[in-house]
Structure 1
Amino acid sequence: MSTFESPAGWTRRSVLGGLLTVPVAGLVNGCAPTSTNEHGGSDGRIALVYRGPAGCAGCSEILAERLSRPPLGLDVAFIGPREQVPLEASALSGAALYAQPGGGDDISGAAQSFPSDFIRGLRDYIGAGGSYLGICMGAYLAGSEGFGLLDDSVEGEVGVPGFPVEDSSDQVVAVTWGETLRWTYFQEGARLPADGAEEYAHYETGDLAAAYYRCGDGNVGLIGPHPEADVTWFEDADLVDPDGDDWQYALPLVKRILS
């Protein structure tokens, strides 16, 4: 799919449907990474992108690719239970960003796959001025049922009156990014809390699809749909993208949390 390769034998679609079969461990309470940026333009800022059982193959890799390319040009490393950067609180020291990509549909199971010490360390990192980017499952995990970065739980948009999607299938939905209406990849996307939100995108229902939140001295950016999805995602899901790549419309929020 990209410069960042998925683990052998995994496909994005199989993992999306199979998170519940992945063993999870740990209890939830309320190292210098290796750069993988091969595109130049880095200003030395390090982004840690989670890759492991709480994510889906392809989700971590495409997000890493997006973050590493201009205009962001971050030095990206994967962090996870089987990655060179271990899933330990100490690994967050010095990172400009921790990014949690999409995953399955079991929020509590995903949260339980993280060591409790790491979750506490992540909250400390954000509270002390760190930055968190959560997309789809990453947005859900920011809520009270996951990492506890927000006081509120993060709910889903599927089934909301007036929203056209009523199941967990891959779809293309209308999302207004700022003033621009775009057709954006969606799969069980989050409906974000309005309390404390700086708004960046809305679904056609008016519910929040992307938003910025202040967490202590840190920054939290959450996105419900998948603006990072590239053409291969649409091809794999037999979907047509009427208006092309959407990542540029998510960039204002990503830049906001990195500022």
Structure 2
Amino acid sequence: MTVSRRLVLTGAVAAGLLAACGGPAPDTRPLALVYRGKASTGACSDAVADLLRTRLRVEFCGPEENLPLTAESLAKAAVYAQPGGGSLDDGWRAMRRYADVITSYVRGGGRYLGFCLGGYLAGATPGFSLLPGDTEQYIATSGAEVRSTRDTVIPVDWQGQRRRMYFQDGPDFVLQPGASVTVLARYTNDKIAALVTPYGKGRVGVVGPHPEAPESWYRDLRLTNPDGVTPDLGLQLVDRTLSP
């Protein structure tokens, strides 16, 4: 079929009018890369992406995504986010091949955000060794609010305020003496639940609970958060990690 010159011109004029009338503009905000693959669940990756979209342009990266998890991809990103997922051992088997790429990115000035399993992976045994210390399983610590691995809601002390958060077998963070960190939250037994710390020229923000949890997670499991389901704690973590 031959397309007439008139139709081509009409289409060009329409496109011009759309732009002139305030049509969709490209998102020029800084880029956040969110991992999606065997070391995460789809729900966790989607929840982290939705949280970050309030601040940044978001794309997924991973072995089956349009963007691979490579140094070239990370070089374009303001932050790399590692969501929650399954067990630490399984997660590390999927992620250890990327360890050098991720640590080099953060050391050179990039930002790392780790949620639940992503927090575990920021540690050292096993993990990326991005923290001045390591992680441990919170539910196994003395005085833990919960002992089960099932999904639940727990209280934490977040910046001096008691807040309840979605939780499922997340880590706490064990620091070396004199470590330079900003502690954002502690569990009720005083173990660290969220922190931000420098790593080389970059910065690392990690959290054991799930501040990114959407309303659907609570609804599907018939859980209730008396404080309401709001993104403010997750955004505090994001903002502190991204700050200069």
TM superposition score category, shorter chain reference: 0.7 to 0.9
Query: Superposition pairs for residues 169-188 of structure 1, below 5 Å?
Result: 169-188=150-169
Equivalent position of 2:119 in the other structure: 139
Of structures 1 and 2, the larger Rg is shown by 2
Measured at CA, do residues 194 and 152 of structure 1 come closer, stay the same or move farther in structure 2, by a change above 3 Å?
closer
**1:209, distance to aligned residue in structure 2 (A):** 0.5
Question: 1:177–1:250: 8 Å Cα contact kept in structure 2?
Answer: no
Equivalent position of 1:27 in the other structure: none
Equivalent position of 2:18 in the other structure: none
Equivalent position of 1:82 in the other structure: 64
Equivalent position of 2:47 in the other structure: 62
In 1, distance between residues paired with 2:192 and 2:96?
30
Q: Work out the number of aligned pairs and report it.
A: 216
Secondary structure of 1:193 counterpart: strand
Equivalent position of 1:93 in the other structure: 75
Question: 1:158–1:165: 8 Å Cα contact kept in structure 2?
Answer: yes
**1:127, distance to aligned residue in structure 2 (A):** 0.3
Query: Superposition pairs for residues 227-242 of structure 1, below 5 Å?
Result: 227-242=211-226
Measured at CA, do residues 150 and 127 of structure 1 come closer, stay the same or move farther in structure 2, by a change above 3 Å?
same
**1:131, distance to aligned residue in structure 2 (A):** 0.1
Same amino acid, percent of matched pairs: 39
Equivalent position of 1:200 in the other structure: 184
TM-score, normalised to structure 1, is: 0.79
Q: Deviations over 1:176-195 (max 9, x none)?
A: 11022111100001101233
Post-superposition, which runs of at least 4 consecutive aligned residues in structure 1 deviate over 6 A? none
1:253 aligns with 2:237: yes
RMSD of equivalent CA atoms = 1.8
**1:240, distance to aligned residue in structure 2 (A):** 1.2
Question: 2:132–2:175: 8 Å Cα contact kept in structure 1?
Answer: no
In 2, distance between residues paired with 1:148 and 1:40?
40
TM-score, normalised to structure 2, is: 0.83
1:127 aligns with 2:107: yes
1:49 aligns with 2:49: no
Measured at CA, do residues 239 and 41 of structure 1 come closer, stay the same or move farther in structure 2, by a change above 3 Å?
farther
Which structure shows the bigger proportion of residues in helix conformation? 2
**1:241, distance to aligned residue in structure 2 (A):** 1.3
5+ residue gaps in structure 1?
1-38
1:190 aligns with 2:201: no
Equivalent position of 1:165 in the other structure: 146
In 2, distance between residues paired with 1:137 and 1:125?
19
Secondary structure of 1:257 counterpart: helix
Q: Deviations over 1:118-173 (max 9, x none)?
A: 32111111001100000000000011111121253311110322222112111100
Q: Which amino acid aligns with 2:35?
A: Y
5+ residue gaps in structure 2?
1-23
Equivalent position of 1:33 in the other structure: none
Question: 2:133–2:173: 8 Å Cα contact kept in structure 1?
Answer: no
1:104 to 74, 86, 105: 86
Measured at CA, do residues 194 and 246 of structure 1 come closer, stay the same or move farther in structure 2, by a change above 3 Å?
farther
**1:42, distance to aligned residue in structure 2 (A):** 5.3
